[in-house]
Structure 1
C-alpha cells in the first residue's frame, strides 16, 4: 500500500511539472531602446564655449535635408521623442506645431524633434532638460594662475579642429554628413577628454576642476533621470540633445538595467 501511495504521489508531482499547452514562464520585460542623437545648434544662441555656424535651415535646400534625416530616423519607429527643452515649453509648443500655428522656428527641437514625432506618429514629444551651472571661469583662472593654461588651450584647439571638420562637412556634404560626424562613438569619447583635463585644475581644498565636473554631471544625471522616468518597457525613444551631453547620456542609457543604446549612425542617411 505504501508503494502505491508513493507512486501516485510521484505521478501527481510529475503531472504538475508538465507544461500546459499555451502556458509559459513569465518573460522579462521588453527593453527600452534609446537612440541618443547628438546635435549642434541649428539656430545657435552662442552660449557654448565653442559655437558652430549653420546657414538658414528654413531655406529649401536645408528643409529637404532635414526631411530626409527625419524620414531615415523614422525607420527606427520611435514612439517617444525627448528633446533639450523644458517640459512646459514642449507642452505649449508641440500642439501648436501639429496644428500649424507655431511661428517658423530654426531651432533643432522644432526642426528635428517635432518633425520626427509627426513623421513617425510618435505618442508625443517630451522636454527632459534640466537647469545647471557650468562654472568654467574658476577653472580658467586657476589654470592662468598656476601655469596650466596650455592644457586648456590644447583641449580648446582640439575642439576647434573637430568643429572645423563639422563645418566643412556641412558646407560640402550637408546636414546629415555633419551629424554623422558628431555622432561617431570614437569622437564622442575623445570629446570627453576635456573633463578629465579639468581635474588637473586644483590642489588641496581648491578644486575648481572637480567642482566643474560635479556641476556638469549633476545636470546630466537630472536629464537622464527625466528620460528614465518617462520610459516604459518596450519603448523606442529618440533623444535629441547637444552633442556635449552625448557621452554622459549614452553612458547613462548603457548602464541602466532594462535599457539598450541604439546608434544613430545606423539610421542617419549617408
Structure 2
C-alpha cells in the first residue's frame, strides 16, 4: 500500500498550536510588563529638597549678611560631615547649587580630580561634598544673575516720609540675620541649618519682601518692581532645576535662605514634583 503524504495526525497539530499559543502569550506578557514598568517610571514623581543656607565664606554680596564662623576648623568640618552624612539618607541622584552652570561644571570636575584649591564656600562644603559622597559625576549649577532694584524703593520712601518705616523693615531683617549668627556661635552648623529651614523662618524671611509692596503709589511702584525682579530671578533658577529633573529624581538644591520661599513654592506648584522637607533630614545637635 502506498504511504500517505498527508500532514501529521490531528493531535500533533493541537500540540503545535498549544506551544505556539504559549510562546505568543509569553511575548505578550513580556511586552505588557515592559510597558507597565515604563508607565510606572514615567509617572513616578521627582522629589526635591531645598536646603536654605547662609554664606559660609562671608562674600558680603547681600544687603544683610550673616557673619559666618570659620568653617575650616576641625570642629566645623566634623559638623559639615554630619550634615552631609544626614542628607545622604535621602539618597540624592542630583545636586544643584547657587553657582552658574559653567562655574559649577568646571570647579566640580577639579574637586573630583583633587586640583580645586581649598574653599570655605557652602557650594563646595555642602554641595560638592554631598554630590561626591553620592557618586555623582556632575553638580548642576542653576543660579542666574538678576536685578535687585532696592535703590528706587529707598528713594521713594525718603521722598514720601516713609524712610523710618523702611529702616524698621531693614532692622527686622538684620535682627533675623543676627539670630542665626548667634546660633552658630553656640551650636553646630546642622543646628543652624535646621533652624533656618523651619517653615516659620522661611515665611518670615519672605515676609520682608512682601512688605516692600506697600512702598509705592498709583503708577509709581518701586516695591512691585523689586519683587517682580526678585521673582523673575527665582523663577529662572527654578526652571533650570525642573529642566534637570527626570521621573524618580531625588534632588537636593542648596541656596541662600532668601531664595527658599519662592523656590519651594515653584516646586510645590510644578506637576510631577514633590517637595521634601529639609528639616526631616538635617541633623539637630
Do both share a fold (TM > 0.5)?
Answer: yes
Shift of 1:253: 0.3
The separation in 2 between residues aligned to 1:185 and 1:153, in whole angstroms, is 25
The separation in 2 between residues aligned to 1:216 and 1:210, in whole angstroms, is 10
Match of 2:100 in 1: 86
- Tell me, yes or no, if structure 1 residue 220 matches structure 2 residue 195: no
Match of 2:214 in 1: 200
The separation in 2 between residues aligned to 1:202 and 1:21, in whole angstroms, is 66
- Tell me, yes or no, if structure 1 residue 168 matches structure 2 residue 171: no
In structure 1, stretches of 5+ residues that fail to align are: 1-19
TM-score by length of 2: 0.84
- Tell me, yes or no, if structure 1 residue 269 matches structure 2 residue 266: no
The separation in 1 between residues aligned to 2:46 and 2:172, in whole angstroms, is 35
Tell me the SS of whatever aligns to 1:57.
coil
- Tell me, yes or no, if structure 1 residue 132 matches structure 2 residue 146: yes
Counterpart selection for 1:251 from 265, 273, 276:
265
- CA deviation string 1:227-249 (max 9, x = no partner): 01111010000000001000000
The separation in 2 between residues aligned to 1:36 and 1:49, in whole angstroms, is 22
- CA deviation string 1:199-251 (max 9, x = no partner): 11111221111110111111001000100111101000000000100000000
**RMSD over aligned Cα, in angstroms?**
1.5
The separation in 2 between residues aligned to 1:159 and 1:195, in whole angstroms, is 10
- Tell me, yes or no, if structure 1 residue 234 matches structure 2 residue 248: yes
The separation in 2 between residues aligned to 1:229 and 1:223, in whole angstroms, is 10
Tell me the SS of whatever aligns to 2:96.
strand
Residues 180-195 of structure 1 correspond to what in structure 2 (within 5 A)?
180-195=194-209
The separation in 1 between residues aligned to 2:115 and 2:229, in whole angstroms, is 38
Q: Which has the larger radius of gyration?
A: 2
Count of aligned residue pairs for this structure pair = 251
Counterpart selection for 1:149 from 149, 163, 166:
163
Residues 45-60 of structure 1 correspond to what in structure 2 (within 5 A)?
45-60=59-74
- Tell me, yes or no, if structure 1 residue 29 matches structure 2 residue 43: yes
Shift of 1:154: 2.6
In structure 2, stretches of 5+ residues that fail to align are: 1-27
The separation in 2 between residues aligned to 1:102 and 1:196, in whole angstroms, is 40
Match of 1:73 in 2: 87
Q: Do the aligned residues in 2 keep the contact of 1:39 with 1:242 (CA within 8 Å)?
A: yes
